[in-house]
Structure 1
Amino acid sequence: MNESDNNLNIPTYDDVLAAHERIKPYIHQTPVLTSRFLNELTGAELFFKCENFQKAGAFKVRGACNAVFGLDEKTAQIGVATHSSGNHALSLSYAAGQRGIPVTVVMPRTAPQAKKDAVIGYGGSIVECEPSTSSREATFAEVVAESGAEFVHPYNDPRVIAGQGTCSKELVSQVDNLDAVVAPIGGGGMISGTCLTLSNIAPQIKIYAAEPLNADDAARSFKAGHIIADDAPDTVADGLKVPLKDLTWHFVSNHVTDILTATEEEIVDAMKLIWKRMKIVMEPSSAVPLATILKNPELFKGKRVGIIITGGNVDLDALPWMNN
């Protein structure tokens, strides 16, 4: 553990257990699917944890519900706010709607229209910003100063990480004897929750993070031993553009086996494969794990591998291969 970790509010596995009880009425236990074709192609046994079938279409509803339903009544009535490129925005809007409290979301103007529509559909208010981390955080500071709403960070929040940890808790109860779990990494909320859960209940399972090469700040951070943040990377995996923060870096630096990257073409090819072979809708960010497994077959051959399909909120009028 790093010295700076002493200053962090690091969630525990007890927090994951409490989160699972708290959020059960508001989430699905999502299914695990398999594909004989993809097993033969990779030489591994792949088990896809389908969070694209989750409420609000993404795993992020787990952390959002844990944060919202953990608030005391006085704080909740003022409302919640966040900044997000999409899935956390609509997940927090869903959670706030379930509790009947206000929610404001700062979103990049370039965020997929499908995600903006979902936020509005769940009753959220959107304030748009430029597509950079600096613009997002500056705009958000103004929103909170004006409203006094409770900030629920998309990933660097112990309540959110504990909620995301419920996903891998379900996965290991659904699939025995996993050798590895691969999940996408942007800010690191899902990976941190995965690390939190697996390090406590299945420490033998290796944890790999999968990242777009065009937004590989986490991979570079991992190699350098400290956070390297890109302000506005450009990738088809719109959910993975944000940098690590101190709390997620704690989990990544202490528990992740490696961070693997894939090119834009490899991500789109993997996305097409899953759509064609598994007949499920998932977004580009969710294809990055399969893309990295296809790229690094020697790491996974003969292994039982869990893959977290993080979301299915894709703009059907702007699929990535339409421009190819």
Structure 2
Amino acid sequence: MLDTDYIPTLSDMVEARERVAPHIHRTPVLTSSFINELVGAELFFKCENLQKAGAFKARGASNAVFGLSDAQAAKGVATHSSGNHGTCLSYAAGRRGIPCTVVMPRTAPQAKKDAVRGYGGRVVECEPSTSSREAVFAEVVAETGAEFVHPYNDWRVIAGQATCSAELIEQVQGLNAVVAPIGGGGMVSGTCLTLSNLAPSVKVFAAEPLNADDAARSFRAGHIIADDAPETVADGLKVPLKELTWHFVRNHVTDILTATEDEIVDAMKLIWKRMKIVMEPSSAVPLATIIKNRDIFAGQRVGIIITGGNVDLDKLPWN
């Protein structure tokens, strides 16, 4: 049984890095002189949209799956996910040759459902709310006995996500800040874990859609505020914080910045146009918040984590 109270440490990240290395890419860091000039800062985009299975979540999923004992692995793994975690868990489970079941909102992008099935995972649909997702998932676990790998409230997942910023600070020297999108907070927590230990002078900012700003409101209130079913184009950022991720957010995040739907779409178009890289709306939120808050980042060297590239090309948000 997973210890849900355990706070991952730097040594967990180091072990995760060794464990996941055969199963992930060391993703590149790209820059844009046009965007740098626009925002008045040097931005370094860590391109997890080019990661295995198209998202950073391959890191946490691989760490969890390959850390299982043979007895645990034999029953398979299961999760609930709006898309990328489910896709990445299916990818990792396929690499280990074990079954994977993913509970997904019926409104999740078809591309993400197809991706889960493409890696051999089984999709079970639920209504697009946290309460429905968790109720349907409980039925799946009772039926299969599979190991639950939570999308973010899981120390194994956070330790895996922490390997991303470990690479980033090796690839780019002298960063002043790192900005990552926040939904449940897995990537932000992993970023806090690594940077607070290895580069404590680097500030961590989280970026969130204004339409799903429960993390920002939690940050201001000093306790978790959870929205059940927010509506935003950034479909990967609809879920609330949980206890483990809240620990990292309240102790290590400098601020949580928000962007409107139009600002997110404009930032997404800008990156597609200027950098020629495919990314999903959730990944555009950090740039949208930097453009909106130029004064905070003026003259600084800023890392941006582009979290995923699994966009539904038939439903681009500007069509």
Q: Which of 122, 125, 130 is the aligned partner of 2:127? A: 130
- Aligned pairs for 1:259-270 within 5 A: 259-270=256-267
Q: Is structure 2 residue 199 aligned with structure 1 residue 199?
A: no
Residue deviations 1:119-173 (CA, integer Å, cap 9, x gap): 0000000000000000000000000011100000000000000000000000000
Aligned alpha-carbon RMSD (Å): 0.9
- Aligned pairs for 1:37-56 within 5 A: 37-56=34-53
Q: Which of 240, 243, 247 is the aligned partner of 2:244? A: 247
Look up the equivalent residue of 1:146 and give its one-letter code: E
Look up the equivalent residue of 2:113 and give its one-letter code: K
How far did 1:69 drift? 0.0
Q: Which of 197, 206, 210 is the aligned partner of 2:207? A: 210
How far did 1:71 drift? 0.1
Q: Which of 132, 138, 146 is the aligned partner of 1:141? A: 138
**Partner Cα distance (2:123, 2:301) in 1:** 42
- Aligned pairs for 1:111-260 within 5 A: 111-260=108-257
Aligned length: 317
Match of 2:296 in 1: 299
**Partner Cα distance (2:101, 2:43) in 1:** 38
How far did 1:8 drift? 2.1
**Partner Cα distance (2:129, 2:281) in 1:** 19
The alignment partner of 1:308 has SS state of strand
Percent identity of equivalent pairs: 80
The alignment partner of 1:131 has SS state of coil
Match of 1:4 in 2: none
**Partner Cα distance (1:187, 1:284) in 2:** 16
> Which of structure 1's runs of 4+ aligned residues deviate more than 3 A?
none
How far did 1:34 drift? 0.2
Look up the equivalent residue of 1:118 and give its one-letter code: A
Residue deviations 1:197-222 (CA, integer Å, cap 9, x gap): 00000000000000000000000000
How far did 1:31 drift? 0.0
Structure 1 stretches lacking a partner, 5+ long: 1-6
**Partner Cα distance (1:227, 1:146) in 2:** 31
How far did 1:270 drift? 0.1
Look up the equivalent residue of 2:231 and give its one-letter code: D
How far did 1:38 drift? 0.2
The alignment partner of 1:233 has SS state of coil
Q: Is structure 2 residue 95 aligned with structure 1 residue 98?
A: yes
The alignment partner of 1:234 has SS state of coil
Q: Which of 9, 16, 20 is the aligned partner of 1:19? A: 16
**Partner Cα distance (1:266, 1:284) in 2:** 10
Q: Is structure 2 residue 32 aligned with structure 1 residue 35?
A: yes
TM-score, structure 2 normalization: 0.99
Look up the equivalent residue of 1:52 and give its one-letter code: N
How far did 1:231 drift? 0.1
Look up the equivalent residue of 1:181 and give its one-letter code: V
The alignment partner of 1:82 has SS state of strand
**Partner Cα distance (1:50, 1:300) in 2:** 20
**Partner Cα distance (2:166, 2:210) in 1:** 29
**Partner Cα distance (1:39, 1:105) in 2:** 39
Q: Is structure 2 residue 271 aligned with structure 1 residue 274?
A: yes
Q: Is structure 2 residue 100 aligned with structure 1 residue 70?
A: no
The alignment partner of 2:98 has SS state of coil
